[in-house]
Amino acid sequence: MDIDDHAEELASDLGVAKEEVAEQLSNLLEYRVPLEEAKSSIRRKHGTDDGGGSSTPTAVDVEDIGVDGGPVTVTARVLTVGTRSIRYQGEEQTIREGELADATGTISYTMWEDFGVEAGDSVTVGNASVREWEGEPELNIGGSSALSTAETVEVPSEVGGERSLCDLRPGDRGRVVEVRILEANDRTIDGRDGETTIREGVVGDESARLPFTDWQCRNVLTEGADLQLDDVYVRKFRGVPQVNLTEFTEVTPVDRAVSVPESAPRLSVAESVNSGGLFDVEVVANVIGVRDGSGLIERCPECSRVVQNGQCRAHGEVDAEDDLRVKAILDDGTDTVTAVLDADLTAEVYGGGLEEARAAATEAMDRSVVSNAIAEEIVGRAYRVRGNLSVDEYGANLDATEFDPADGPPARQASDLLAELEAVE
């Protein structure tokens, strides 16, 4: 049966218009609510509830839960509980999210009703449907599910949401962090309720720095404030993890000065790339090449995309504007990443700004002389590169904020090797 058939069946059972049911069903499925749970939700909305389907729940361990197994019953420990509001069917819906665990593994969950659970509780969840979320199974606990207290479940996982910033990952919910506000700026956006002012910036602790967004624009989030943020969630934004505060986040001052190092964590290229995305990281590596699209380039004045032959992919033929950029391939022996240098950093390595680059291109009647000169300057040398790293299907990019000749491991390894060779001679 397709969605239309399910909607027609529901409408017939409930005695309401098929179009109304079809819209409600589509909205729920867009939020990846499993089909049977979505149908049960619609029945409850119209005053009936048949228990959400005919499948008999199977008692399973967490490690055995899969998206194709139907409803399940699981006994587990609640690790974290986060609260968030979403909108579907045109109405505000408060949900609880977090992680459950038993001795065999950990799984995320979404509760569509308030079952009153807290971190550390041991519970038996019956008739929970399973959906796929971020490529992994997730328990979907709704009105057709049953939840009861269980004997204490011993788990190897950490109970509670307290984490350092370096341990946060996209998809985390119900996390608690102690941070210093390093940057804070207000911005007006076109939100779901019209114009909304949010507060954005950067937070830091002893382990890392991360961008944040406070959807409530709290005045207490000012530069230099040391705060505990209780019940935040993490999502990937522009390729890096971002801390998000909601109306349910509790913000309280802490009685200590949160220390934030001036330096960024230094990782190998492989460690950085395998993380899936990092905000403010440092690598030391050799430049082994300069990619096409470096040097004196042209950008669209509307969207800043790079223009090819006067054509912008989004706006067609445009009166392009000149800019400087370097896309340097870095290799430290563990992996490669492309460091992207903006106009200011490019001018430093080139030894001149836009006017000098234009003059050189005009004299040679070839814009590639700029990228060639940059390649001659940096290829084969080791650099310390600091910036924000993102990873997507096209590869890994490090948007550089600092790009300096290195006196770190690659350079030292090269000098040590030369010393060894001279000793052999």
Q: Which residues contact 83 (CB under 8 A, 6 or more apart)?
A: 94, 95, 96, 97, 174, 231, 246, 248
User: Distances in Å between the alpha carbon of 35 and those of 20, 30, 129, 165?
Assistant: 16, 11, 9, 36
Q: Which amino acid is at 274?
A: N
Q: Which residues contact 418 (CB under 8 A, 6 or more apart)?
A: none
DSSP state string for 359-398: HHHHHHT-THHHHHHHHHHHTT-EEEEEEEEEEETTEEEE
Which ranges in 15-129 belong to alpha helices (H)?
18-30, 35-45
Length of the chain: 425
- pLDDT band for position 218 (cuts 50, 70, 90): very high
If phi > 0 it is left, if psi is from -120 to 50 it is alpha, else beta; for residue 333 that is left
* 270 alpha-carbon distance from chain centroid: 19
- For 254-320, list the strands marked E by DSSP: 277-290, 295-299, 311-312, 316-317
List pLDDT tens digits, range 232-258.
999 998 888 999 999 999 999 999 999
List pLDDT tens digits, range 256-300.
999 999 999 999 999 999 988 999 999 999 999 999 999 999 999
Q: What's the rounded Cα separation, in Å, for the pair 78 and 106?
A: 10
List pLDDT tens digits, range 13-38.
666 677 777 877 787 777 667 777 77
Q: What's the rounded Cα separation, in Å, for the pair 211 and 280?
A: 10
What's the pTM? Answer: 0.74
Residue 150: is its pLDDT beyond 60?
A: yes
User: Do 283 and 345 contact (CB within 8 A), yes or no?
Assistant: no
Mean pLDDT of the chain: 88
- pLDDT band for position 132 (cuts 50, 70, 90): confident
